[in-house]
Amino acid sequence: MRIHHLNCITACPLGGHLMDGQRGGPITRAQLCCHCLLLETAQGLVLVDTGYGLRDVHDPHNRLSPFFLRLMAPALREEMTALRQIQRLGFDPLDVRHIVLTHLDFDHAGGLDDFPQARVHMLRRERDDAAAQSSWLDRQRYRPQQWGQQRRWEVYDGSEGEPWFGFGCVRGLAGLPPELLLVPLPGHTLGHAGVAVQSAGRWLLLAGDAYFHHAEMHRSQPWCPPGLRLYQTVMEKDRRARLANQQRLRELRNRGDATVALFCAHDRLEFEQLAGRSIEAPAARPAAG
């Protein structure tokens, strides 16, 4: 299985180093990537999360909430959408047969309607909670404009699962290879999950928004930029579960086992290390010769 790392549009909130731990003062724009995966499998192409989509780029004020547009200020570049990067890699977007979602937040599911032929896999509780639209914040983060026309859902019960490195996991995703798993990691949302992919003798675990900054995974002194820590707190739906899953991920990261590589959805350093390029550069086929 070949894995491509895609940054499907960078969020640029104010806050500088208070948000990303790297860039300038509080009136500087931070950079938070949207780390998605494109997998080449025998069953066709599989996309893990979609980031923002073409329609988000072309009509953001009808697709995204004014609150999050102002707060996150995404750099809505068409060439950074999953669909355009898939084309740059030389693939036909119609060959994306499956999409596996960590959760349905606006910056993870905006590209769903760019791939209407794909089956969409997620935990059942995520779909049901997003559809309920039960609070003001839910109506801002979950945008039916992005996925309300999607009918090809494959949903799974995350309450029980087989063991995987100390976590429960959902195996046997319909139509997908056994090297692809859903790992329930509730907290950020009620049906939030990580997605584990096995390739070349090791596992990659995209932990989604279970954490936001690589320093949160430090063994002895976990740390998160204060603005980003506040954002996590505002967005959490189950604080106890979120913190417990962060601790379990921390233990996984620090067990000294090279068979699992752990990364989250929004950390620039993690993305650039895995992708081998800047978050500002779209994926593309290597030059011939």
Query: Tens digit of pLDDT for each residue in 194-213?
Result: 999 999 889 999 999 999 99
Q: Name the residue ranges covered by the structural domains of the chain.
A: 2-275
CA 120/CA 99 separation, integer angstroms: 5
Residue % of the chain over a pLDDT of 70 = 99
Quickly state the pLDDT bin for 150 (edges 50, 70, 90).
confident
pLDDT (tens digit per residue) in 82-95: 999 999 999 999 99
Residue 7 CA to chain centroid, in angstroms?
A: 10
Residues paired with residue 284 on neighbouring β-strands, in sequence order: none
Alpha carbon distances (Å) from 25 to 30, 215, 245: 9, 19, 31
Nearest residue to 120 via CA among 205, 48, 37: 48
d(CA 74, CA 133): 23
- What is the model's pLDDT at position 258? 79
Sheet of 96-100, strands arranged across: 2-7, 35-41, 44-48, 96-100, 119-123, 153-156
The reported pLDDT for the residue numbered 22 is 87
Q: What band does 246 get if pLDDT is binned at 50, 70 and 90?
A: very high
pLDDT digits (tens, 9 = 90+) for 181-190: 999 999 999 9
Selected from 3.20.20.70, 3.10.20.30, 3.60.15.10, 3.40.640.10, the CATH number assigned to the domain covering 2-275 reads 3.60.15.10
Give the model's confidence band at 159: pLDDT under 50 very low, under 70 low, under 90 confident, else very high: confident
Query: Residue 287: what pLDDT?
Result: 65
How far apart, in whole angstroms, are the C-alpha atoms of residue 211 and residue 265?
8
Q: What is the mean pLDDT of the chain?
A: 95
Amino acid at position 262, single letter: L
pLDDT at 158: 87
On the question of pLDDT at 52 being above 70, the answer is: yes
User: How many beta carbons lie within 10 A of that of residue 58, not counting itself?
Assistant: 11
pLDDT at 288 over 80: no
**Which tens digits make up the pLDDT trace of 31-47?**
999 999 999 999 899 99
pLDDT over 80 (residue 65): yes
| pLDDT tens by residue, 108-138 | 999 999 999 999 999 999 999 999 999 999 9
Q: Which two tokens stand for residue 79?
A: 């060439």
Q: Is the pLDDT of residue 255 over 90?
A: no
pLDDT of residue 4 exceeding 80, the answer is yes
The pLDDT of 234-248, averaged and rounded, is 97
Separation CA 282–CA 253 (nearest Å): 28
